[in-house]
Amino acid sequence: MRVFVERVESYRDAGKFVEKAFELFNPEFKYLKPNFLKFDDPENGCVTHPDLIKAIINVARECGMEDLKVIEGGFYRDSAEKCFVEFGLKEVAECVNLNADEFVDVEIGGEALKSVKVAKTALKARGSYLTVPKLKVHHLTKVTLGIKNNMGFLKKPAIYMHRNIHQKLVDLLSFFQPSFVIIDGIIGGTNSEMHPKPVKHEVLIASDNVIAADIVGAKLMGFSPSEIQHLMLAMQMFDISESDVEIVANPGIEKLVKHYSLSLSSRMLGRLGI
């Protein structure tokens, strides 16, 4: 399985990366799932940058993909809606605020996650969505990348996910697997997920395997995959090892690593499981 990584200095150049990624993987999807945790200045490193979403939509349409939808929930009921409006995304695609969607009960049947309430539109997107997470830390999971981005499909508040979150994320992944992944690391987020300190990382990551993409994303943040519990569980469940991942990088991945960390308050929240 391949992961494409490249230094990208500005969101103005994101379209060139997307074009290369599409040539390598030839993805097909109908839905895009960013990380719009809250409405925030995209330069702060908290949310997926809208310029990257727009670049993906433009390239996808050039490749014949029409009727694309941007779908997201976010922490607050109107987080995604405000992002859609303020970032001008409604002008380029249909946008669905999953927090205002109809929810249905879904049997997951996982080891820790047995059933959840899922937005109806997210169910339609299953098997045909591009996830566009942020390269960012999280107090409970250390990183919030592609696997964790699936939580945006769930009815809020989703604090029931916090206990045994690592296994629950992997259980959820067994139900929701994106067809393609592009991780936004041009501006990353360190210290905390809600109020990050922006990192000018200048990197984008693409893969047709979310676990492989997250392995590389964690490494680029200075973490070993063995430090990310849900990632290790996913690797075990889907029988993937680091040696299975072919990294196509420009420059080499070792030149693109930056070291992210959690603030003291974030670490304390993590210990408390809040």
Judge whether 153 and 98 are in contact, CB under 8 Å: yes
pLDDT in tens, 112-150: 999 999 999 999 999 899 999 999 999 999 999 999 999
Question: Where are the chain's structural domains?
Answer: 2-272
**How far apart are the C-alpha atoms of 14 and 149, rounded to whole Å?**
20
Q: What are phi and psi of 233, to 5 degrees?
A: -65, -40
Residue 271 has pLDDT above 80, yes or no: no
In this prediction, residue 140 carries a pLDDT of: 93
- pLDDT exceeds 90 at position 159: no
Strand partners, 129: 31
Distance CA 227, CA 13 (A): 32
Give pLDDT tens digits for 210-263. Answer: 999 999 999 999 999 999 999 999 999 999 999 999 999 988 899 999 999 998
210 neighbors 181 (Cβ within 8 angstroms): yes
Q: CB burial class (10 A; 0-12, 13-18, 19+) of residue 68?
A: middle
* Average confidence score pLDDT of the chain: 96
* pLDDT exceeds 70 at position 207: yes
Going by C-alpha positions, the residue among 69, 60, 131 that lies closest to residue 96 is 69
What architecture is domain 2-272?
A: 3-Layer(aba) Sandwich (3.40)
Contact 137, 189 (CB under 8 A): yes
Cα 101 to the center of its chain, rounded Å: 20
Report the pLDDT averaged over residues 181-195.
97
Supply φ then ψ for residue 252, to 5 degrees: -60, 150
Inform me whether the pLDDT recorded for 191 exceeds 80. yes
Convert the pLDDT of each residue in 67-82 to its tens digit. Answer: 999 999 999 999 999 9
Contact 3, 206 (CB under 8 A): yes
Task: Determine the distance from the C-alpha atom of residue 171 to the mean position of all C-alpha atoms in its chain, rounded to a whole number.
Answer: 17
Asked if pLDDT for residue 268 goes beyond 90, the answer is no
State the pTM of this model. 0.96
Tokens (6 digits) for 179: 């067809």
